[in-house]
Amino acid sequence: MSNPQSSGLRGDCVAVLGIGLLSTAVAVLALTTARGVVQENAITYSTEFISGWWWLAFLLAPLPAALVRRRIATATVAAVALVLPQFIAAAVCVARYRASGWSDGLEGLSYLHPVLLLLATGAACGLTAAVSRRT
């Protein structure tokens, strides 16, 4: 017979791993579909070192909040698993700008995306925790 605590811990690990894999998939998709530096005409260029697919990560923000009812620690680790790949994607984006020679200092604003994702995830977890305490 399996221990209920062991199966609960196994389920938590699977949930955290799944959230981390989904977040990593979004980051990889956004980085691989970016167009880079594209010459539009004789004097105009456009630069894209991470694509709009990156915003899909915000659809994953409620997932750690769903784990708040099980364990706060699990939700916290899940939030880290969600946000960490997005910080890495931002670092890759900044490195791409600098390596291409198109760096102007504003590429550092790429880090706003994972910071906002962290705030959104924290807000969702906090709201879920507050609601679950009332019920």
Residues in the chain: 135
CA distance 89 to 101: 19
Does the pLDDT of residue 1 top 60, yes or no?
no
Confidence of residue 105 (pLDDT cuts 50, 70, 90): confident
Q: Give me the DSSP letters along 55-110.
A: GGGGGGTHHHHHTTTT-HHHHHHHHHHHHHHHHHHHHHHHHHHHHHT---SGGGGG
Worst-scoring range by mean pLDDT, 42-46, 84-88, 113-117, 125-129?
Answer: 42-46
To 5 degrees, how large is the angle CA 16–CA 19–CA 25? 140
Domain ranges for the chain, please list them: 19-134
Checking if the pLDDT of 26 tops 90, the result is yes
| 5: confidence class by pLDDT, cuts 50, 70, 90 | low
pTM given for the model: 0.89
Identify the pLDDT of residue 87. 98
Q: Which two tokens stand for residue 11?
A: 């389920």
Q: Coil, helix or strand for 132?
A: helix
